[in-house]
Amino acid sequence: MDIIEAVAKTLKESGEPLKAGEIAEKAGIDKKEVDKAIKELKKDEKIISPKRCYYSIKE
C-alpha cells in the first residue's frame, strides 16, 4: 500500500477530521510524507479540510 492510500484509509477509519501529525501517528508514516500525500489528495479532491489544518475524507 502506498502512502497516499494509507493516509486516505486512516482518514476514512477515523470518522473525524485529523491533523497531519495525528494521521502520521496513526498510520505510522513520517509527517513529511503525510504532508505530500495530503497535498496530492487535496489536488484530486478526495479529501476536504473542514477547518484549518484538519482533514477528512470526502464522502
CA pair distance 58, 49, nearest whole angstrom = 9
Domain boundaries, the chain: 3-57
Architecture in CATH for domain 3-57: Orthogonal Bundle (1.10)
List all residues 6 or more positions away from 27 whose beta carbon is below 8 Å from its beta carbon: 6, 7, 9, 10, 34
pTM metric for this prediction: 0.91
> For the chain, how far is it from start to end, CA to CA, in angstroms?
21
For residue 32, the Cα-to-chain-centroid distance in whole angstroms is: 12
Question: What are 3-43's pLDDT values in tens digits?
Answer: 999 999 999 999 999 999 999 999 999 999 999 999 999 99
